[in-house]
Amino acid sequence: MSDEEKKVRMLLKSVIFHYHGLDEIEKQDLESTSIQLEAQKELEWALEFVAEDYITAFDRARAYLNDIIGDYPKTKRVDLINMVWEANNLKGFITEMEATAMLKLAKDWGVENELISLALH
């Protein structure tokens, strides 16, 4: 996996998790993912990106991710939405704010129907 994809994955999880405030399960998931992907520096970068301005973090991340992910094959875009959907399910629920954020990204990436399918299962 390229460093760019590691940044994408860590930023995507970080910005969705921070949408309502990072809880302990989400913090552990971020750490675990960074270890699994050998992406500790990418996690640090993502956390700094979010911390720069929590209020605008999602919009800034959305713009950043859209510039990169638009060129990804559809299967990879679906994989990214699935990754963040599954990560949010670790805590046993997904907030309306998180679901809305994921829907916005899925729509941007042309995988809205795939996300809805995930939510129905």
Enclosing domain of residue 35: 3-116
Q: What is the pLDDT of residue 108?
A: 95
Annotate 97-119 with three-state secondary structure.
Answer: HHHHHHHHHHHHCCCHHHHHHHH
13-27 per-position pLDDT tens digit: 999 888 777 888 889
DSSP letter at 111 equals: -
Question: Both tokens of residue 115?
Answer: 């996300």
Whether 121 is covered by a domain: the verdict is no
Q: How many CB atoms lie within 10 A of CB 34?
A: 21
User: Looking at residues 105-110, what average pLDDT do you find?
Assistant: 94
Confidence at 95, pLDDT banded by 50, 70, 90: confident
Q: What is the pLDDT of residue 18?
A: 86
Number of domains in the chain: 1
Confidence at 87, pLDDT banded by 50, 70, 90: confident
15-66 per-position pLDDT tens digit: 988 877 788 888 999 999 999 999 999 999 999 999 999 899 999 999 999 9
- Average pLDDT taken over every residue of the chain: 91
Q: Which helix (H) or strand (E) holds 62?
A: helix 57-69
Q: What is the pLDDT of residue 96?
A: 86
How many helices (H) and strands (E) in the chain?
A: 7, 0
Contact 45, 10 (CB under 8 A): yes
